[in-house]
Amino acid sequence: MGIGTNAAVEARGLSKSYGRARGITGVDLDVASGEVLALVGANGAGKTTFMRLLLDFIRPTSGAVKVLGFDSVHDSVEVRRRTTYLPGELVIPSRITGEEAVRRFTFARHDLRADQVRAIAERIHLDLSRRVGDLSKGNKQKLGLVIALAPRADLLVLDEPTSGLDPLLQRVFGDLVKERAADGTAILLSSHVMSEVEQIATRVALLRDGRVAVVDDIAAIRERSRRRGRLRPRDPSDLAAVADAIRSLPGVSDVGLEADVVTFACTGDMDALLKQVASFGIAAFDVAHAELEDAFFA
Amino acid sequence: MIGSLGVTRSDLRLRRTSLILWFVAVTVLVAGIAAIYPTVRSNPSLDSIYGDLSPTVQALLGGASLTSPSGYLNTQLFAFFLPAVLLVFAIGRGASSIAGEEEDRTLDLLLAQPLARGRLYAEKALAVLIGVVTLIVGSVVGVVALRQPADLTLPYVNLVAVCVQMGLMCAALGLGAQAVAAASGRRVVGIAASAGYTFVSYIVYGLSATVHPLSYVRPFTLWRWYLGGDPLTSGFGIEELLVLAGVCIAMVAVGTQAFRRRDLHA
């Protein structure tokens, strides 16, 4: 992706090996300013390793990654000055209050103002005066989000940001992330659930066994992905005819009969299919939400 | 930059309750032992019992006489008991300072900020040092407060000297624990290394008074630089202070280098 000067993250041949297993191998990946790139993959695919390399918690075995033009190893302080981070396994000392936790993990961000912290906390409904030890898992995650989202940053690195959040808060989180992206912040987040990121991300990179298997725009993936559909003719005697009518259409597959419905799978545009069945009396027609995982694993 | 010391302040704030309790405990402990001195002094038979012990055991216990002020404070407090208490604190704090946070998985979030690793390490070492200094102040307060009432006829400066040299030894061992733990990423490795050295060097130091060949390794025991010049009777030793301070600095330097080069555990 020739993003040039606009790239917030530029990884080139980035590898990290830990003895036998895990790690990443030869990762080339860019994240542009203003985009939300989701790293997707099974546990152990290398998502966290990639993120921790950006922040210089670990050093590459080979290759390099630049963050906002700064080398992750040699200019790590400059990288972290412009980057905020939410760890995947968030642990915050339990004896302190939320407010003290925010102070402990943001004191070196000198331009962070108290009202920015309050604004985010209010938006995600978090009471910062409570002791961390008394917070539920979801509320601890919110505290992590306050620490990552309150400071101004050019890159957000969020490892499994929605874990532990209820659906309502996942939506609020999505809005916050999209707002930051609209302001030009680059956002790199990880998830092992595809359906979770498709609402938020603009691009997705699938990691498999430490390598980038696919990188693509969400829209293109959605286009490619198979949706499962069902058609119920008014007249059950039309079943076989409907099935035959759609069977030969491009993009349609797995046509079958099930009691009084025709089942099928399709990708891409549905116009041809609709026109083809329009001459039959159709009692019901439904298409399931696209399973983006299928597009990757197909 | 230097003025903010955010890591140090945050660490101290996180552990202030525990530090206050340690301070009170050490002060009361020292004052309590000093307060018993008048009853020991009036009982010279203790000296004859003590005199029957072998010279090695006497050396390990800290001296010859039990009933003189310096003999009493050495044997009861400074030769073993008080440094042992302070070492529990210093080694524990040192080992958990970096490696403890790493094992508890709170280090990533701290280091996600724009802080160089060397800076983080130095500020955390300073927090350990401030903790030890607090307990030294507690020791000085305890022993100086009881000097008159308990009739411990020793110059004030000697009482301060023994506390400071003890504190420097404990600081050096605590910073050593920090260095080893930070280099390995494991708290227990730092504790084992520092406590192991402390114990072996204590035995070697005691034996070296009577076992001649051991006198050659005596300079490698920090106990020599804490107690070898007998600070309770002679006051501060310049050489002693320099060696102990030098070891403290060396431990921070070595630990910083090791910590900067390493991958942090997830």
Q: What is the ipTM of this complex?
A: 0.87
CA distance B3 to chain A (A): 12
Supply the pLDDT for residue A3: 43
Q: How far apart are CA A258 and CA A240, in angstroms?
A: 11
Q: How far apart are CA B65 and CA B51, in angstroms?
A: 8
pLDDT, tens only, A228-285: 899 999 998 889 999 998 988 888 888 999 888 999 988 878 888 888 888 888 999 9
Residue among B94, B84, B264 at smallest CA distance from B180: B94
Placement of tokens 């555990």 in the chain? B265
Residue among B246, B242, B200 at smallest CA distance from B223: B200
Supply the pLDDT for residue A120: 95
- Exposure string over B79-110, b if 16+ CB within 10 A, otherwise e: bbebbebbbebbbbbbbbbbbbbbbebbbbbb
CB A56 within 8 A of CB A79: yes
Chain B residue with Cα closest to A81: B114
All domains of chain A in start order, with CATH: 4-217 (3.40.50.300), 225-297 (3.30.70.920)
Least CB–CB distance from A80: residue in B13, B14, B114: B114
Across the range B6-19, mean pLDDT stands at: 93
* Residue A55 to residue B266, Cβ atoms within 8 A: no
Supply the pLDDT for residue A294: 64
Write out the H or E segment, with its range, that includes residue B230: none
Supply the pLDDT for residue A4: 45
Tell me the percentage of chain B whose pLDDT exceeds 70.
98
Supply the pLDDT for residue B1: 46
CA distance B86 to chain A (A): 24
Other Cβ atoms closer than 10 A to A245: 18
Supply the pLDDT for residue A292: 67
Look at chain A and count its residues.
298
Has residue B99 got a pLDDT over 80? yes
Decide: helix, strand or coil at residue A24: strand
| DSSP secondary structure letter of residue B210 | T
* Residue A57 to residue B264, Cβ atoms within 8 A: yes
Q: Say what the pTM is.
A: 0.88
Assess B106–A contact: CB distance below 8 Å, yes or no.
Answer: yes
Supply the pLDDT for residue A188: 97
Chain B residue with Cα closest to A17: B263
Average per-residue pLDDT in chain B? 93
Has residue B2 got a pLDDT over 70? no
Could you tell me the mean pLDDT of each successive run of 10 residues in chain A, 298 residues long?
68 89 90 95 91 96 96 96 95 94 95 94 95 94 96 96 89 94 96 80 92 89 82 91 90 89 87 88 85 62
pLDDT, tens only, B161-200: 999 999 999 999 999 999 999 999 999 999 999 999 999 9
Ordered alpha helix ranges (H), chain B: 6-14, 16-35, 37-41, 45-51, 55-61, 69-73, 81-95, 101-103, 107-111, 117-145, 156-184, 187-207, 222-227, 231-234, 238-261
Supply the pLDDT for residue A21: 65
Decide: helix, strand or coil at residue A28: strand
For chain A, how big is the Rg over CA atoms in Å?
23
Per-residue CA distances from B97 to A186, B154, B180, B185, B191 (Å): 33, 37, 11, 11, 12
Per-residue CA distances from B25 to A42, A284, B87, B135, B249 (Å): 52, 79, 14, 9, 28
Q: How far apart are CA B58 and CA B52, in angstroms?
A: 9
For residue A188, the cross-strand partners are: A37, A157
* Residue A57 to residue B6, Cβ atoms within 8 A: no
